[in-house]
Amino acid sequence: MNFSSDTSAPAHPAVIEALAGVNTGMEASYGGDSVTAGLRAKLAAVFETEDFDYWLTASGTASNALALSCFCSPIGAVLCHEEAHIARDERGAPEFFSGGGKLQLLTGFGARIDREALETALGQINPGFVHETPAEVLSLTNLTECGTAYRAAEIALYAGLAKEKGLAVHLDGARLGNVLASGKASAADMTWRSGVDVLTFGLTKTGAIGCEIILLFGGARKKFAALQARAKRSGHMPPKMRFLAAQAHAMLEDGLWLNLAGQANARAAALADLFTGAGYELAYPVDGNEVFPFLPEEVARRLMAAGAKFYPWPGGAYRFVCSWNTAEADIAALAEALKP
Amino acid sequence: MNFSSDTSAPAHPAVIEALAGVNTGMEASYGGDSVTAGLRAKLAAVFETEDFDYWLTASGTASNALALSCFCSPIGAVLCHEEAHIARDERGAPEFFSGGGKLQLLTGFGARIDREALETALGQINPGFVHETPAEVLSLTNLTECGTAYRAAEIALYAGLAKEKGLAVHLDGARLGNVLASGKASAADMTWRSGVDVLTFGLTKTGAIGCEIILLFGGARKKFAALQARAKRSGHMPPKMRFLAAQAHAMLEDGLWLNLAGQANARAAALADLFTGAGYELAYPVDGNEVFPFLPEEVARRLMAAGAKFYPWPGGAYRFVCSWNTAEADIAALAEALKP
Amino acid sequence: MNFSSDTSAPAHPAVIEALAGVNTGMEASYGGDSVTAGLRAKLAAVFETEDFDYWLTASGTASNALALSCFCSPIGAVLCHEEAHIARDERGAPEFFSGGGKLQLLTGFGARIDREALETALGQINPGFVHETPAEVLSLTNLTECGTAYRAAEIALYAGLAKEKGLAVHLDGARLGNVLASGKASAADMTWRSGVDVLTFGLTKTGAIGCEIILLFGGARKKFAALQARAKRSGHMPPKMRFLAAQAHAMLEDGLWLNLAGQANARAAALADLFTGAGYELAYPVDGNEVFPFLPEEVARRLMAAGAKFYPWPGGAYRFVCSWNTAEADIAALAEALKP
Amino acid sequence: MNFSSDTSAPAHPAVIEALAGVNTGMEASYGGDSVTAGLRAKLAAVFETEDFDYWLTASGTASNALALSCFCSPIGAVLCHEEAHIARDERGAPEFFSGGGKLQLLTGFGARIDREALETALGQINPGFVHETPAEVLSLTNLTECGTAYRAAEIALYAGLAKEKGLAVHLDGARLGNVLASGKASAADMTWRSGVDVLTFGLTKTGAIGCEIILLFGGARKKFAALQARAKRSGHMPPKMRFLAAQAHAMLEDGLWLNLAGQANARAAALADLFTGAGYELAYPVDGNEVFPFLPEEVARRLMAAGAKFYPWPGGAYRFVCSWNTAEADIAALAEALKP
């Protein structure tokens, strides 16, 4: 009954096996290896394009900050939701990697940027007014920190608005699989086809040990050399890169990542039913693997006493996260504990 | 016959097994897990002290830069050898992590800082003269980039000189195992007992996938909270830390790291004998797993044609690196290829 | 009828005369001169204490950023009002000088931080939670960007709350003279006696060419060496410092700064009467030299057509700023233009 | 007999008069004023071109660092002489402003970069090798820190070599007047015609209060908006810019800057004759206003006892600097003191 975070889950066994599988013989270091090179084909299949470059890190914070630092200069700003992971949970990584760039925080229900807030912010950009810091990047998160999703059409709309003003578009896809698992949109639709320039494609929360892929699409590929240099100087160019790449291979093979994300989503749906069935309202719609019920404090305490792990969330709800490792038995046990 | 780098070697199978071993159930994330906590005892045994704190990263560059950034302010400098990895091969990571601190480069044969060069540099420090950047840290590397070693007494001497001037002392121990494998000095002698405040204890080149341990000794422990914060904001606080810690467990278990380092050293010694036996001078004494013979260009070309991998080195020699994975057969094959 | 900004005013003639007065003979450079040293006595008299250190710059942005960078680390944040000059009008200077620190923006009417907003923010500080950036400094502005003032007791209250949480307290006093000109509080009451650690004491807007004094009070003096080093490396240690110091001498002599500020305030009061007398509401109370009337667009256009200079302000009002150089004739001319 | 530095000299009276001359009425702030705009024509005349942009600061350190930061990225390096002011005397300003870029130090007699050292460094640039930091800028200083000069043809040669490798070329002209006063080369020859992209044109040491002009020539003008933004966020966009511009007007009017520099040079020549006539060798040729005699310690002591101010210099000589304010009587007095 551990619903604390999908980062607390183990890795899928296929990932460990993949590590063993590439643990043979000498390989070029620092990303020049054949395992890393071999990922291109798999990523091309997932994203239905050849027009991309990619880099691997073991950390979502690093991937986001590296991605942003290629597009946000020290004298620029990133537009993002005020509850975005890059704003709240990365200890100033974007400011650090960009050399002192700013985050400009936007509002919106359920960690989704409100269209009006975005348009207002975009309308205020005035690069000629030297005293203020102009936004240079729009960063969206999908799945959001509140477990809600943007539809591909919304990504396209927001990206379009941003691009009219000359901004680059970043997507934090730490839980991208949880958005795509339903099959309503493809990875391509949700990213480059909608105008995303740079993606943090997270596999860690989905089931890897630690594997996040930064993808640069189309014109953004011109930043690839700078991305590598920034990866190197921030310690995100591991000598034995093959072991990062092997994780990605395992996760992308036969759609394992989507299957695992779908499984986590299914558990979350069951959880949502459980709470609403018991009469508790949810703070946000459940679009992925996170559920935010408003629970009376004594109920929360009862669940914790029964061994359930989960966290309170700003705004009064509690956050329950499912992972590929969440079992039906966990749901059943929670159901039991929930009974009055 | 791949002598290009010990970073091109695979991981020791015990390391992969250890990953599988911890891949069970839910664990606290971001370093709060039991596997990471369990390392304390093993490290205490290795370093013969309880007076330390530790943090794990997957990158030597990250570990060095994080370690330095806790002791070198944006308005300070790090004294290091002009051939030090932090100066030459980390793409400005120390400057990045310290927020614009400087490296002040010292000379000396075989990548070992010359005592006189150190004393001159220390003598010139004048914190009251605001125009110049005063050194705040001395960074030593052992094994050095030229495969030579400082003895523990030398570390103690240099650290003592530095401390008289108020500097902190950092040791880049990416290949510390190769120094200690001979058994002439203990890990404690070579580090905190000699005045080292902060150590980058490398296990990657020795046989891990990617595992470097930053150790803060004694009074330096007061920097631990800052170290964690800096690790977080640079993307070096992986959510599933247990998989880093498991690598360290495997490597430290029953002295595996020393055995593997010793094995690499033995191969290097055989290689050195091979070259000197064939009449080629070595640029530097062989104190670990690296050999730098001066070879005629046509000999180098012949070896490469036979399939040997190695690199030219500044100064005219070639660098051959042995790893735990270097086989006796590799040495024999090279011997064959070397025959006129 | 130029009400665009007090930064558009010339310098008071006494300031120019003071420059000529020190333009004799050789002087030690970089702040070691006798003119700069001579300021200590004048500042001691103004602030009724000997327990301070000071540094001069020609820029308010520089003074604020330097002051903040001594107390906000790269892994910390500054609490300030969302309309603060440091947040809105300094192009990321605090982030730059602090090495990537954050600003955490608080709300409140009239650019004055709301007590509840402050208490909430202080209550959320959790230095042990490594993912979030803890506030390390509270920055207040007096006179605020909306021309309102904090009373000394409010500064003391807010500083006290901040200090309970271990924060340092910065006061941006770019228009401090306009607050103090009424004589209701002393410079000491408004600063160190109320718990201010570091003050940006602005004289430029009051009547100098370009002269801002950073004062470190009491325990904050231990940052003085770092402040000087940071001033040097940011280009704020002018070789011929005596010409900055001479400006301060002229402004502080016989209370010239307070007289000039009082004169500007008097003009602003007249302006406020003018607007309210004509039936236009003011967005904020007038506590200094700035007036923010809500004007119908056609009235604003009429005034501009008559030659008046002033700017629209976020929220719908217009900003009129008076300086020491604003003449009664300017007010009269505006009165004329305001007539229907 | 104060030969300590030309930064210890007062300003030329014409500079003070110029400040008084512009101290009338309201002016646009932050560089939008008519005085600043009026400089364009004077600079065009001095540099014989219209193809430039310019920005004013009060500090040579700031001007150098701002100039460099527009061309050296956080992942790049600046080639400069190991005795360059930017390397030795600016407390890490280039590293700070560039966001962690590096200085790569070159050797050469008399603070002039040796051609071979430059060619070696340029030859080693390998932007494809991600581990090392590639040079992106060549920074030359003329007059050098040792009082020697590059001829225009040498600037052109070095700039040409640098440009072949894609580097931008910066000239630190803190004492440019002292190079040009002889009339052997024009300001245009010494800068843009020889390939200089960005110039720090110093007037402070020549006779201003504090006025350095950053000039971007030709293609480098595309960096002007970034330069302004960086000036703003580093506190180098003074609100009352007209007072900086007025200094430049006074110095450039009727060639005052060249006359003052020439006068300082003449005094230095007399000083050089004095020392060599007395049998003391000079460490470097005297190409401007600085003289570096090797003096026996007892002679140096005798001069100091007689009231002469000057500093010892690395390498064993002493530095004597003349300014526009150095009188013939100073030379005569030193001659007297020098007599055995």
pLDDT tens series, chain C, 340 aa:
899 999 999 999 999 999 999 999 999 999 999 999 999 999 999 999 999 999 999 999 999 999 999 999 999 999 999 999 999 999 999 999 999 999 999 999 999 999 999 999 999 999 899 999 999 999 999 999 999 999 999 999 999 999 999 999 999 999 999 999 988 999 999 999 999 999 999 999 999 999 999 999 999 999 999 999 999 999 999 999 999 999 999 999 999 999 999 999 999 999 999 999 999 999 999 999 999 999 999 999 999 999 999 999 988 899 999 999 999 999 999 999 999 8
Which residues of chain D are within 8 Å of residue C61 when distances are taken between CB atoms?
232-233, 235, 237
What SS3 state is found at C195? coil
Task: Say how many CB pairs under 8 Å bridge B and C.
Answer: 34
Written as six digits, the tokens of D69 are: 């930061």
3-state class (DSSP) for residue B215: strand
- Looking at residue D79, the DSSP 8-state letter turns out to be E
Q: Which residue of D has its CA nearest to B135?
A: D91
Which residue of chain C has the CA closest to B76? C229
Domain with CATH 3.90.1150.10 in chain C: 256-338
Element (H, E) at D77: strand D77-81
**Closest Cβ opposite residue A75 in set D30, D229, D237:** D229
Measured between CA atoms, the residue of chain D closest to residue B61 is: D131
- Contact assessment for residue D185 and residue D219, using Cβ atoms and an 8 Å cutoff: no
Q: Which chains touch B (3 or more CB pairs under 8 A)?
A: A, C, D
Q: Which fold has domain C13-255?
A: Aspartate Aminotransferase; domain 2 (3.40.640)
Q: Strand, helix or coil at B179?
A: helix
Test D100 with B100 for CB contact under 8 angstroms: yes
User: Rounded to a whole number, what is the distance in Å from the CA of A318 to chain D's nearest CA?
Assistant: 41
- Note whether D23 contacts C16, CB cutoff 8 Å: yes
How far is CA A2 from each of CA A5, A34, A169, A299, A307, rounded to the nearest angstrom?
A: 8, 38, 35, 16, 8
Subunit contact D100:B102, Cβ cutoff 8 A: no
Q: What backbone torsions phi and psi does residue B168 show, to the nearest 5 degrees?
A: -85, 160
Q: Locate tokens 């010239």: which residue?
A: C256
The C-alpha atoms of residue B280 and residue B275 are separated, in whole angstroms, by: 5
Dist. CA D38–CA D252, nearest whole Å: 12
**CA atoms of C146 and C136, how far apart (whole Å):** 25
Task: Spell out which residues of chain A touch residue C103, defining contact as CB-CB under 8 Å.
Answer: 102
Question: Are C167 and C127 in contact, with CB atoms under 8 Å apart?
Answer: no
Residues A198-223, mean pLDDT to the nearest whole number: 98
Q: Give the one of D19, D57, D204 whose C-beta lies nearest to C19's C-beta.
A: D19
Cβ atoms of C283 and C306 closer than 8 Å: no
Name the residue facing B235 among A9, A10, A93 (closest C-beta). Answer: A93
pLDDT digits (tens, 9 = 90+) for A231-247: 999 999 999 999 999 99
CA distance C307 to C336: 12
Give the whole-angstrom CA distance, residue B166 versus residue B144: 24
Interface probe for C, chosen from D33, D56, D69, D243 (most Cβ of C below 10 Å), is D243
Q: What is the pLDDT of residues B226-263, one digit of tens each?
A: 999 999 999 999 999 999 999 999 999 999 999 999 99
Nearest chain B residue to C134, by CA:
B229
Cα→Cα distances A292→A147, A151, A316, A317, D293, Å: 8, 20, 9, 6, 79
For the cut 90, the answer to whether the pLDDT of residue D315 exceeds it is no
Give the nearest chain A residue to D132 (CA atoms).
A229
Chain D residues with CB inside 8 Å of B77's CB? 92
CB contact under 8 A, D75 and B88: no
Which parts of B131-282 are beta strand (E)? 135-141, 168-173, 198-202, 212-217
8 Å CB contact between A264 and A326? yes
Query: Which CA distances in Å does C81 have to C6, C22, C106, D55?
Result: 22, 40, 5, 31
Residue B258, classified by CB atoms within 10 Å of its CB into exposed (0-12), middle (13-18) or buried (19+), is buried
pLDDT of residue B340: 85
What CA–CA distance (Å, rounded) separates C19 from C3?
27
Identify the band that residue D170 occupies on the pLDDT scale cut at 50, 70 and 90.
Answer: very high
Range list for CATH 3.40.640.10 in chain A: 12-254
By CA distance, what is A73's nearest residue in C? C92
pLDDT of residue A182: 85
Beta strands per DSSP E along D82-192:
102-106, 135-141, 168-173
Q: What is the pLDDT of residue D182?
A: 85
Distance CA A333, CA A133 (A): 51
Of A197, A168, A200, A163, give the one whose Cα is nearest residue A58: A200
D64-110: pLDDT as tens digits? 999 999 999 999 999 999 999 999 999 999 999 999 999 999 999 99
Contact: D90, B130; criterion CB under 8 Å: no
In D217-296, alpha helices (H): 224-233, 242-252, 256-277
Note whether D8 and D264 are within 8 A (CB): no
CATH topology of domain B256-338: Aspartate Aminotransferase, domain 1 (3.90.1150)
Domain A12-254 falls under CATH 3.40.640.10 = yes
For residue C216, give the H/E element and its range.
Answer: strand C212-217
Whole-number Cα distances in Å, A74 to A92, A101, D59, D188 = 14, 4, 22, 33
Q: Which residues partner with A216 through β-bridges?
A: A53, A198
Question: Is the bond into B274 cis (omega within 30 degrees of 0)?
Answer: no
Closest by CA position to B320, among listed B339, B299, B92, B340: B299
pLDDT class of A315 with cuts at 50, 70, 90: confident
**What is the pLDDT at residue A246?**
98
Answer yes or no: are the C-beta atoms of C146 and C316 closer than 8 Å.
no
Look at B26 and A9 and tell me if their CB atoms are within 8 Å: yes
Across-strand partners of D137?
D78, D168
Tell if the CB–CB gap between B100 and D102 is shorter than 8 Å: no
Q: What is the mean pLDDT of residues A296-312?
A: 97
Chain region(s) in chain D for CATH 3.40.640.10? 13-255
Residue B296 burial by CB count (10 A; 0-12/13-18/19+): exposed, middle or buried? exposed
Dihedrals phi, psi of D309, to nearest 5 degrees:
-115, 130
Cis peptide before A171 (omega within 30 of 0): no
- C-alpha distance from residue D263 to each of D2, D178, D259, D266, D291 (Å): 16, 9, 6, 5, 14
Contacts of B110 by beta carbon, 8 Å cutoff, 6+ apart: B144, B146, B147, B148, B283, B284, B285
β partners of residue A293: A282
pLDDT at res. C140: 98
Which residues of chain A are within 8 Å of residue D239 when distances are taken between CB atoms? none
Instruction: Using CB atoms within 10 Å of the CB of residue A163, give its burial: 0 to 12 exposed, 13 to 18 middle, 19+ buried.
Output: middle
D15, D333 contact by CB (below 8 A): no
CA D293 to chain centre: 22
Task: Please report which helix (H) or strand (E) contains residue D305, including its range.
Answer: helix D297-305
- What pLDDT is attached to residue D284? 98
> A45 pLDDT exceeds 90?
yes
At residue A326, the pLDDT reads 98
pLDDT at A213 over 90: yes
Which residues in chain B come in under a pLDDT of 70?
none
CA C302 to chain D, closest CA, distance in angstroms equals: 21
Sign of CA dihedral C106, C107, C113, C114: negative
How big is chain A by its Cα radius of gyration, in Å? 20
Chains within contact range of chain C (3+ C-beta pairs < 8 Å): A, B, D
Nearest to C75 among A77, A91, A103 (CB): A91
CA-CA distance, D125 to B96, in Å (whole number)? 20
**CATH 3.40.640.10 spans which residues of chain B?**
12-255
Q: Which residue spans within C58-111 are E strands per DSSP?
A: 77-81, 102-106
Q: Which of C68, C69, C75, C228 to mutate to test the interface with B (most CBs of B within 10 A)?
A: C75
Chain A interface, Cβ < 8 Å to C: 74-75, 77, 88-92, 95-96, 99-103, 105, 130-133
Q: Both tokens of residue D105?
A: 């130090």
Please name the chains neighbouring A, where neighbouring means 3+ C-beta pairs under 8 angstroms.
B, C, D
Is the Cβ–Cβ distance between A55 and A213 less than 8 Å? yes
Residue with tokens 């071979």: D116
Best A72, A130, A131, A230 member to test D by mutation, with max D CBs in 10 Å, is A130
Instruction: Find, among C314, C303, C311, C312, the residue nearest to C336 by Cα.
Output: C303
Q: Which amino acid appears at position B106 of this protein?
A: L
Amino acid at D93: A
Topology of domain B12-255, per CATH? Aspartate Aminotransferase; domain 2 (3.40.640)
Report the pLDDT averaged over residues A202-215.
98
pLDDT digits (tens, 9 = 90+) for D217-252: 999 999 999 999 999 999 999 999 999 999 999 999
Total Cβ atoms within 10 A of residue A221:
17
Q: CB distance C90–A130 less than 8 Å?
A: no
> pLDDT band for position A277 (50/70/90)?
very high
Tokens of C250: 């002229």
Return the axis-axis angle of helices B242-252 and B13-22, rounded to nearest 10°.
Answer: 130
3-class secondary structure, D206: coil
Cα distances from C277 to residues B198, C269, C290, C304, in angstroms, run 70, 12, 17, 20
- Residue B265 has φ and ψ, to the nearest 5°, of -60, -40
**pLDDT band at residue A193 under the 50/70/90 scheme:** very high
The sheet carrying C168-173 orders its strands as C52-57, C212-217, C198-202, C168-173, C135-141, C77-81, C102-106
Q: What one-character DSSP code corresponds to residue C285?
A: -
Q: What is the nearest CA distance from C69 to chain B, expressed in angstroms?
A: 11
